[in-house]
Amino acid sequence: MQTLENTKLNSGKEKIMIKSYKGKTPQIKETSFIAENATVIGDVDIDDNANIWYGTVVRSDMSYTTIGKNTNIQENTTVHNDFNTPTEIGDNVTIGHNCVIHGCKINNNVLIGMGSVILNNAEIGENTIIGAGSLVTQGKKIPSGVLCIGSPAKVIRELTEEEIENIKASAIHYLEMAEAHKEKKND
């Protein structure tokens, strides 16, 4: 695997792992933060202010992956896809530590709790929380504005307006932390 220095993404001091696959090279906006030991492979499009944290792997070698604006994918998460099954992650999404996101669609303003697994062809509606350790099974459609917990994940209740605002606040918080991590690299 080749390593590329990317001065616009990481201040030029560290190397991040970005790899083309079968002629597809990740497209990453300059405003994004990619931690130096994260790995991004293949047909991946990372939008403005997205942040990919330490130890995360985004591997898009069977279909494409899109990661929306202000979205954070936290430590040690795996994002992958399947043959003709893309992974689409919307804007203002928080994906907690140690998740597996595989060939699914996550709409805008969603929080995926730590250790959760989202499988092929599942879809998470916007303004939704998937509780920590949950399993969203293949093909499951989760509606908008709900809390889902369990293995398999089940709708528990509708979210309050305050909880929906907290999802947005989480994305903003991680965006601010990403900026601080970018600055720290210049020290």
Every domain of the chain and the residues it spans: 4-184
pLDDT, tens digit, 9 for 90 and up, residues 17-54: 999 999 999 999 999 999 999 999 999 999 999 999 99
Question: Which residue in 149, 103, 108 sits closest to 122, CA to CA?
Answer: 103
State residue 183's pLDDT score.
80
pLDDT, tens digit, 9 for 90 and up, residues 135-173: 999 999 999 999 999 999 999 999 999 999 999 999 999
Say how far apart CA 6 and CA 13 lie, in whole Å: 9
State residue 4's pLDDT score.
43
Q: CA–CA distance from 54 to each of 33, 108, 125, 160 (Å)?
A: 10, 23, 27, 32
3-state secondary structure of 163: helix
State residue 16's pLDDT score.
76
Total Cβ atoms within 10 A of residue 149? 17
Pick the CATH number of 4-184 from 3.40.630.30, 2.160.10.10, 3.40.50.620, 2.40.50.100: 2.160.10.10
**Global confidence as pTM:** 0.91
For residue 2, the surrounding DSSP H or E stretch is none
State residue 5's pLDDT score.
41
pLDDT, tens digit, 9 for 90 and up, residues 88-140: 999 999 999 999 999 999 999 999 999 999 999 999 999 999 999 999 999 99
68 band by pLDDT with thresholds 50, 70 and 90: very high
Task: Report the chain's mean pLDDT, rounded to a whole number.
Answer: 93
Does residue 11 register a pLDDT over 90? Answer: no
State residue 166's pLDDT score.
98
State residue 187's pLDDT score.
53
State residue 91's pLDDT score.
99
State residue 8's pLDDT score.
46
Say how far apart CA 98 and CA 181 lie, in whole Å: 20
3-state secondary structure of 56: coil
